[in-house]
Amino acid sequence: MKSGSLQNKTAIITGGNKNLGKETAIDFAERGANLVLHYHSSADDSASTLADELSKKYNVKVALFQGNLIEESAVKGLFDVADKEFGGADFAINNVGKVLRKNLEDITTEEYDTMFEVNTKAAFLFLREAAKRVKEDGSVVMLTTSLLGAYTPGYSVYQGSKSAVHYMIKALSKETTRRISFNSVSPGPMDTPFLYGQETPERVEFFKSQSPHGRLTEMDDIVPIIRFLCAEGTWITGQNIFANNGFVAP
């Protein structure tokens, strides 16, 4: 596999209008990459605002796609935009996810189904499409969680739905006959609304105490790892990279 810069490459980024997806989009645009930014809600205008800002500031092209990625047609439509606007994607980065902290015996069937639709089915559809349509010498990066290596209560269905992503990546990296790398990045507890909606202040402080740096994972800690896997790190494939500053070491 070849390595190189992001200049004039094209990246599909799901959840590209907020949190880690947004920060990744900014980083890639700063380095000259064109973008296809996915966002979920049609009522959210933050994606168009971000697209305008990135286009003007970094002189790159940004296309938008709105859709629910648990639907096969939406995932295909996302990659269709990359084909139509840029002749295909060099990188495909999936940030879509949903978290639930609840004891297993209290989880409803509806909650279970929702978690596996968002975290597992959407990932499967994304990986399947990326395997066929990302350009040769490209990279696919899936965001999972360092909770995959944690022995902790409350996250059984979240851990289960995210662990499937890693095993799909491992298999796909062996099955593919194309020069594409497939990896996942598993951040530690991250300083975003994604965490605070599920955790108590006491548990947040505990998470901080597990890091030698005494803090949560920041988005700026993770973006360079994603960039590395898409640029210089393409010889890495089939791996799950735990980026958590000592929170867990599986």
Q: From the candidates 155, 158, 167, 196, which is the catalytic residue?
A: 158
Q: Which residues pair with 187 in a beta bridge?
A: 243
Which pair of tokens denotes residue 167? 């095993």
- Distance between CA 244 and CA 222 in Å, rounded? 9
- One-letter amino acid of 134: V
Q: What's the start-to-end Cα distance of the chain, in Å?
A: 28
Tally Cβ neighbours within 10 Å of residue 56.
10
Q: Is 87 exposed, middle or buried (0-12, 13-18, 19+ CB in 10 A)?
A: exposed
Which pair of tokens denotes residue 186? 């598993």
Tally Cβ neighbours within 10 Å of residue 229.
24
Q: What are phi and psi of 229, to 5 degrees?
A: -65, -25
155 is catalytic: no
Q: So which residues are the catalytic ones?
A: 158
